[in-house]
Chain A
Amino acid sequence: MEVARRRFADVVVVAPVGRLDHGSADELERVLRPLVEPSGDAPAGLVLDFGRVDYVSSVGLRVLMIAAKEMRRRGARIAVVGLQPVVAEIFAISRFHSVLDVFDALPTALKAISAAAAAAYGSPAVSTST
């Protein structure tokens, strides 16, 4: 699974592509682990941009839940944005929309999580690829 990463100030945006199921969930978990665990440069916020995810299975949802637990444990925020219609329905049916913060677009999520990240998003020169 292809997973793109960008950083806006103290928030990291992770954007997986394709199907998030038993074949790819492990890989997303590997990408997320260093970001959610406490460390010196651990981000204050994590946004999962699901704009290019076209299916998510229970295994994939579980990876999100583990990341959310870790982030909350260290007082950090996590959000999911840009759900495609089918994935939004899977979130609703599994009731994950009530245990994860879901926003329709990235700017809205950044604004809710960190003013610095929202400002950085507004001025593209500041953003960096990681």
Chain B
Amino acid sequence: MKLVRFWGTRGSLPVALTAAALRGRLIAAVRGARGLALASERAVEDYVDGLDFALAGTFGGHTSCVQIETGDADYVLCDLGSGVRPFGEAAIARHGPRTPQTYHIFMSHVHWDHIMGLPFFAPAYIPGNRVRIYGGHVDLEAALRRQMDPPSFPVDFDTMRADIEFVHLPPGIRHEVAGMTVTTLRQRHAGDSYGYRFERGGRTVVYTTDSEHKLTEAAETRSFVDFFRDADLVVFDAMYSLAEATTVKADWGHSSNVVGVELCQLAGVAHLCLFHHEPAADDAQIAAVLADTRRLEEITRSGRPMRISSAYDGMEIAL
């Protein structure tokens, strides 16, 4: 495995930067440039690149969709959130519409934010493409068909002319897909969700979203630590603060940055990536959570340092 690329990183609902927020940022950026010598193009770009990510960048607003570049021609994705629309466009732009491709898609579960992109996934409408959709839910196909039924959507599922097949992956068994060894783990979430551990060529990526961790059950904690063991990268549901996840949002099915750090430290993970951002959080808040999480890792570290990042639409992590 070579690379992980994020096409959608937001939890629950897509969001977008507003005009008012953008205006505020432009004003701050222009104010910060006062008195600087910005005559050359290079100087302007350096100035912009030197700004805080929460000012000059954005975590983005598409819902869950993560691509894994395995090194093979076949595409591998996790979840069909709204981020799969730009992914599909990029794939078509790269190969042209008439060169058949194979897409392997691993579904955490079938809540709207993880399936809403499929009706807008252009490669699924093109005959010759192969789409394989994997998951642990027995009603996976029914859920994906139903969201395109009238009166909710004008285009029927069967209008998609690619060769689409659903593959049930029972948990606890090692599956061989797209040259990877894939293991799944059932997670605590309304209607269940599944985490995925992908291994290939000595590299391991874990995708674990929409997963609440009850801290009381040692056996449950142990099963996640084993699942994350020595991973190069863990993409982790860090939607809430620990205080929220243990009080008002207990049993809402999501986890926190603090629990992410603890589990990944216990498992000897090299890189923890915070994912499934709260839609009500703005870029500054998500950036603050990232800074907090890095600090937590630093003050609780016992072995080698662990990298911490916070996923944004367009982010790439080399493996």
Contact = CB atoms under 8 A, between A and B. Distances in A.
B18 interface: no
Interface in A56-94: 57-59, 61-62, 65, 86, 89-90, 92-94
B19 interface: no
A94 B215 contact: no
B258 interface: yes
A33 interface: no
Contacts of B99: none
Nearest to A89: B299
Contacts of A22: 218, 221
B215 A59 contact: yes
B277 to A, nearest CB: 16
Contacts of A96: 242-243
Given A86-B299, A99-B243, A93 B258 contact: yes
Contacts, number: 51
Contacts of A98: 243
Contacts of B299: 86, 89-90
A22 B214 CA distance: 12
Helix, strand, loop or mixed for chain A's interface? Answer: helix
A55 interface: yes
B262 to A, nearest CB: 6
Contact of B258 (A55, A58, A65, A99): A58
Contact of A99 (B218, B247, B295, B296): B247
Nearest to A87: B299
Size category of the binding interface on chain B: 20 to 34
Interface in B234-251: 241-244, 246-247
Contacts of A58: 215, 242, 246, 256, 258-259, 262
Given A90-B296, A93-B293, A61 B221 contact: no
A62 B215 contact: yes
B296 to A, nearest CB: 5
Contacts of A92: 292
Nearest to B242: A94
A95 interface: yes
29 contacts: A22-B218, A22-B221, A55-B300, A58-B215, A58-B242, A58-B258, A58-B259, A58-B262, A61-B242, A61-B246, A62-B215, A62-B246, A65-B246, A65-B247, A90-B258, A92-B292, A93-B257, A93-B258, A93-B292, A93-B295, A94-B241, A94-B242, A94-B258, A95-B241, A95-B242, A95-B243, A95-B244, A96-B242, A98-B243
Interface of B: 215-216, 218, 221, 241-244, 246-247, 256-259, 262, 292-293, 295-296, 299-300
